[in-house]
Structures are given as structure tokens and as C-alpha cells.
Amino acid sequence: MVTTQTQFPPAPGPARPATPAPGNGRVYPGDAWLVAAAAFLVVFAGSWVRSMWYDEAATVTGATRPLAELWRLASHVDLVHAAYYGLMHFWTGWFGVSEASLRVPSALAAAAACGLTVVLGQRMGTRATGVLAGTVLAVMPRMMWAGTEIRQYALTAALSALLALVLLRAWRTGRFRDWAAYVAVAVAGVVMFMFFAFGVAALAGAALLLRRRPVATLAASAAAGAICLPFIYRCIQQQGQVSWIRPLENGLFELGVNQFYSGTTRATGWIGPWMAALALLSLLLVVVGLVAAARTRSAQPPGPATRLLAGVGLCGLVLPFLGVLALQVFGEPAYRNRYLTYTAPFLALLVGSGLAVLLARRPRVPADRMARAAGAARVAGAAALCAVIGLGMLFQPWVRLHNGGASVPTREVAQTVAAFSGPGAAIVPNRAHDRYRFVAYPALYAAVEDLTQSRDRVAAGTLWGSYRKVTAEQLAGRGQVWWISDTRRKTPELEAFEDAGCTLVRSWTEFAGTQLREYDCAG
């Protein structure tokens, strides 16, 4: 008798989760919020201590005038900053004008940039890649400074990270609305600051390099460029206002080291060797990440370093620098190291990727030991985050103090004038630009009369108002008169004081970057 046995197919095992493709990695929102909150603490704590400096006062003079007058101002000067002035116009209307209130938007933008960088790193790599990249950005001196400055550079960094995220989504879906969102963010970035156009071109270059929907990316980038072309043209027409900018004096050192690690325009300075060492360490970590990405096979699941992350990071970092170099060679010098702040998230991505590669190289251990190690890792991670916040807060005052012209004690000078001024006191700024002090701290200068002003800044439609040279006739018999200038003026114009027979009472020399003199013109 033949017995037949029925064979059943093996029972199906548990379904394996689909491995996300690079660019669609799992995002942990809590990580992004945590890093963003830490970044806000790092950049904002104590930011109100430092005085406003010239560029920040320019924001105040633009933001505190009616919108119609702001448009009039932008028609001939500072169009490149007009969108930011418009945003700050509403902010000052709601929260007033003070160091603390004016610096909150930049701190929030820096926090957003760090949080978005976490998401960007997790989309293209692993959870650790994103967290490390966001943390690196939070303590980068360039980002710490941008987060305390009353200018739009931290906002451009946030828009840069957002633009890359929107592009990843458009590459993944190909939907029209995602491409429209990409165009909208690109236009917003360029209008916020003209040099952002190099960042848009850089991401188009990444699409070509990675072969990720290159035609659609180029078309969307071209559409954004066409929309922004009139704005860019008008900004170029106003280039004369930055004619004082000198060519790159220190070449690649200024572009590479100072751009991200010193926060100042000087190639050497108070902590130059340390900054150079930090830049070298970052470069080594970037190389580690790039080598790991190059060795990744397409069939492998996403790791801490992927070719997508390497391509986007390299293009977003390098191509804007090439654009700046092209301007130096073929155009007029127009580069300041703050202008490329929006490339900082891409450097942070590359450095974070290298760190994640090194941390991922761990020996195999049993499951129970792995579980205990995971718990210890969480505690260590929390401690490391606290350490990063603490070190950032300790280091940030040094970044502020040694940031060139931004270390001028504008508030202290104004307090001195207010404290020592008697009834009927007057003041003579050496140039119209020296009036930025009056805009930054109007209450402290309210009791002194500016003898050089013919029309105020709003009526004149200029940043600082109309300027006329003071005459001996104005000074004669005037009594107490202050003269103020910055230390870059090697030949102060004091002929009128001499002709009026004014007597120098005191020359205040303790204020860095400032010349302050008190005269008695009673005779």
C-alpha cells in the first residue's frame, strides 16, 4: 500500500520591513526638536549683552520706518536686505526695539537650521548622521555668530536646509506641487539674500552629479532664476554701496577656515591656531565620510554615509565657493564671510557623516550586552548633549567678543555721552555713517543735538539721514560739544573746532574702535 504525504509550504516568517532608499530614511522628529532647542539655548543665552554694531543698526534703521519709506530706501540702497527689513518691521512693531527682542529671530532661525539639518541627515543617512550633523552646526562658530546677529544670515541657513529637504521630496515623488514648493523656497532664499542664488545652482549641480531628475531640477531652478532675475539685476545696480569690500587677501584660508571657524574677517587672530586645528579635524572627518560613501554599494541599505549625502553635501558646500571665486576673478569683489552662511548646513552634514561612520564601527557583542550598552549610550548621549550646550555657551562670548567691528562697545559709548552731557549739549559725528550709534540707542542720545543733520533718515530716504559738515559758526558759543568717530578715520575733520576756538576737555580712549572727544566751545 502506497502512502502519499501531503507537503505543505513552509509557514511564512515575519515580514521584513522595507529598507528605505537613500533620501527617504526614517526621520525622528524628537531628535530634530531636541537639537533645535539646544541650539537656541547655545546662541541666544546672553546675546543681549553685546552692543549693537553698524550692520545691526542698519537693520534697525530699515525696519523702524514705514513700509512705503522702506520701499523708497530700497529703491537706491540695501535692496539686498529689504526683505529682511520688511520682516523685522513687523517684528519690531510687535516686540519693540532692544538687543534681546531683535536677536530672537536670528536665534530661532539658527535653531531651525540645526533642526532641519537633523532631518536632512536622517533622510539621507542614519539617525546618528542627522543628530551629529545638527549638533555640529549648533556649535559651529559661524552659526553661533549668525544666531546672535540682527541680520538675515541665520535665516538663509535655515532656508538652505529646507530647500534641500524639499528637493529630496521632489526627487522622490516627482509631483508638480513639490516642484512648485522647491521654486517657492528658492525664490524666498534669493530674495532674502542675493548670494543664495549660488546655493540654488549648487543643488541643480547635485541633481546632475547624482542623476536625480536632472531635467526637472534644472527646469525648476531656471524658473526660480527667471522670477528672481529682476531682483538680482537691481541688486547688482546697487553694488556701489559695497565698493569698500577688498579682494580676498588670504585666499583659501579666508574662504575655508575663517568662513566657518573664526567668525571674523581676519585671517589671523586671537585663536587662529585653534581654529585652523578645528578646520583640519573637520576636513579629516569629511574625508572619512566621503571614503565611506564611495565604498557603499547601491544594494546596501542606507548607512551613516551615502553617495546621496556626499553628493548633496559636496555640491552645496563647494559650488557656492566656486561662484564667489568667479566673482573675484571676473567681477568686482563682493565677498564677506557671512554671505555664505547658508553653506554651513552642508559642511555640518559632511562632518556629521564622518563622525557617524567612526561611531558605527563597533565590535560584535551578545544581545544582552548590546541592550545594556544601548541604555548606557542613551545616558551618554544626553550627557554629551548637555556638554555641547555648556561648551557652546562658554565659547560663544569669545566668538562675539572677537568678531571684528561687532565688538565695538556702542552702548557703553552712548551711556557715557548720556551720563556726562549737560543742558544744551551737542554732538558732531565725523561722517554720516557714524550716526548708526544714534539709531541703535536713540534714547541715550535724545538730550544731545546732532549739528550735522539737515534731514532725518526717513525724510532723506537714506540709512542715516542727510549730512552737512559742521562750521565754526555753528560751534562758536555752543558750550559742550561731543565729537565721535570710529578709529579707522586716520585724519579726523576737526578744523571747525580749531577755528571756533574750542578747547579739548577730554579724549575717551577706553572704548575699542571708537574715538570720543568732549570739547568746550563756550568761548
Same domain, residue pair 419 and 508: yes
Structural domain contains residue 367: no
Same domain, residue pair 158 and 259: yes
pLDDT of residue 9: 56
Structural domain contains residue 354: yes
Mean pLDDT taken over the chain: 84
pLDDT of residue 11: 54
Domain that holds residue 381: 29-48+98-360+377-405
Q: How far is CA 378 from the centre of its chain?
A: 31
Same domain, residue pair 310 and 390: yes
pLDDT of residue 249: 57
pLDDT of residue 505: 93
Single-letter residue type at 289: G
Per the structure, the count of domains in the chain is 2
Q: What is the mean pLDDT of residues 318-340?
A: 83
Q: Categorize the per-residue pLDDT at 269 as very low, low, confident or very high, splitting at 50, 70 and 90.
A: very low
Q: Point out the least confidently predicted range of 149-163, 257-271, 505-519.
A: 257-271
**pLDDT value at 5 more than 90:** no
Structural domain contains residue 515: yes
Same domain, residue pair 399 and 423: no
Same domain, residue pair 400 and 412: no
User: Among residues of the chain, what percentage have pLDDT more than 90?
Assistant: 55
Same domain, residue pair 489 and 397: no
Q: Identify each DSSP E strand in 358-488 by its residue range.
A: 426-429, 449-450, 480-486
Rounded Cα–Cα distance for residues 167 and 204 (Å): 10
Q: What are the pLDDT digits (tens) for 455-511? A: 989 988 899 999 999 999 999 999 999 999 887 665 567 889 998 899 999 998 878
Structural domain contains residue 16: no
Partners of 481 in the β-ladder: 426, 519
Structural domain contains residue 90: no
Contacts of 368 (CB under 8 A, 6+ apart): none
Q: What are the pLDDT digits (tens) for 356-370? A: 998 886 555 555 555
Q: What is the mean pLDDT of residues 106-129?
A: 95
The model carries a pTM of 0.87
Q: What is the mean pLDDT of residues 391-397?
A: 53
Q: What is the DSSP letter of 487?
A: T
C-alpha angle 250-255-261 in degrees, rounded to nearest 5:
105
